[in-house]
Structure 1
Amino acid sequence: MPSNQTIFPPWHFDHWRAVDDRVRGGSSISHLDKVDLKVQNPVKGEEETGARFWGNLDISTLGGAGFASQSYRYGPSPLRLPSLSYSGISISYLPDPKTHYTEKTPRDYTFVLKTTPTANIPKHPKTPGPPREAQLTYEVTFSLPHSSEEREEKREFRWNEFQATYRGRKIPEGDERWVPLDPGLIYELSIMCRSDFGKQHGDFGVVVTSIEAIRKETDVGLWSRLKGLWNWVVGLFGWSRGGVRLADEVNDEEKRLIA
């Protein structure tokens, strides 16, 4: 099975920016901090680093609405994960050891992709930026289990699982605002904790250990189709060993590549 492409880590913490509902007059706040994991990297020989996403989700200021997020912007060139090579995103995460979890603690988190450039990201992580123009985003949700176990969870999301969303509301296919996700042009990604219109609020925390792009497996069927085409060409023109490689030789080459 092909190895995935790691997007994070390294996390480049100085590139992340808070994009909380304060940009719309709210009071929520978020942070993204480095946390050393109790796992040794077999390649680098050092402890791996996770990202602690934490803060407070306030819903009183905006009348039941609210969100807190940390965003990473790519530019001027986007992150390119074309669907021909990648099938989706995987996210690995842990409960935050510094968060006191209760039945009311937010446990649902949103991973967000944007495929259009954004110019007005806040210049400093602690400073709210100017109001941002609403854009179509593509979102999936991952959740912490209601369990006291501090074990790592991993969720894999295929591209067709990302839901087109506008201002927190889902946009169905067929709506005039709907546009299909193009993972070959990712200009921004975010980790978000949102109220979901009043369903969760208060202090939150989660440790994200990695974000990866899922590589597609080698399409063995493609080799079979190429072999059939080659045999057809050889049979049509009657080429022999003196001119080009015969089908048996191509078959040996296929076996070598697939192995």
Structure 2
Amino acid sequence: MFALPTLLFFFATGAAARPTQQLPLSASRLALFGGDVPWNASRWLAVDDRVRGGSSQSHLTAIPGSNSALFSGILDTKTLGGAGFASQRAVPTSSVSWDLSAWDGIELVTVKEDGKRYALNLMSDLGPRRPDGRVESTIEYKYSFDSNPAGAGAARSIQWADFSAFYRGRPVPDASPIDPARIAAISIMCQSYFAQQDGPFELEISSVAAV
């Protein structure tokens, strides 16, 4: 098992109330990606350690002939002296944030895994970019998991309480719990945990849903 501290530098502040995407309260399972909402790679943006001068790369590709997507790339630990991360981030299409307060958490269903450690991250706010192009950091809420080295996929039901607050890779134990009524972004990440893993990675994802 790897230690939880991570390297994320792309989140931003923003405390003002913002419009949220209103969703049907009666739905027992709300597809966010996959399932009833086909994967659209154009909705996902690479946020890799290249923003800090690193060399890691990530991609998210909808797999033709299936209703799944491949999160893949190369995790480099040499350029930044053991550090490294690669991630793909998505935001709502019709509003500033998702309102998922009617559900208990997130379900992540995978098809194929590779034994590496991944994280599902939720953000409440995204703010303006700095003059150098970077985005100001803010608290992220992270759920880390070890994928199956034998390759089989799994369904993981993640309660809101399972997401832990981090700021620039450090735990924030006194942070407020995540507010499911305001989810501004979702990201899938593979990171080095300071040289504990590197190289190619592949995670085939069937769906991400509120449950």
Q: Equivalent pairs: percent with the same residue?
A: 37
Tell me the equivalent position of 1:180: 177
- Any unmatched runs of 5+ in structure 1? 37-46, 121-128, 215-259
Task: Say which SS state the counterpart of residue 49 (structure 1) adopts.
Answer: coil
Query: What is the CA distance between 1:171 and its match in structure 2?
Result: 1.5
Unaligned runs of 5+ in 2: 1-26
TM-score (norm 1): 0.65
Question: 1:30-179 alignment to 2 at 5 Å?
Answer: 30-36=58-64, 48-74=66-92, 76-82=95-101, 85-95=102-112, 107-120=116-129, 130-147=133-150, 150-173=151-174, 178-179=175-176
Per-residue CA distance 1:94-122 (angstroms, 9 max, x = gap): 226xxxx6xxxx611100000013344xx
Aligned to 1:25: 53
**Cα distance in 2 between the residues matched to 1:204 and 1:119:** 30
Query: In angstroms, what is the RMSD of aligned CA positions?
Result: 2.0
Equivalence for 2:208:
211
Residue 11 of structure 1 pairs with residue 39 of structure 2 = yes
Q: Deviations over 1:188-220 (max 9, x none)?
A: 110000111221111101101000101xxxxxx
Rounded to whole Å, the distance in 1 between the matches of 2:66 and 2:199 is: 29
Q: Which has the larger radius of gyration?
A: 1
Relative contact order (C-alpha < 8 Å, sep 6+): which is higher?
2
Which SS does the other structure have where 2:67 is aligned? strand
Q: How high is the TM-score relative to the length of structure 2?
A: 0.79
C-alpha separation in 1, matches of 2:127 and 2:208:
21
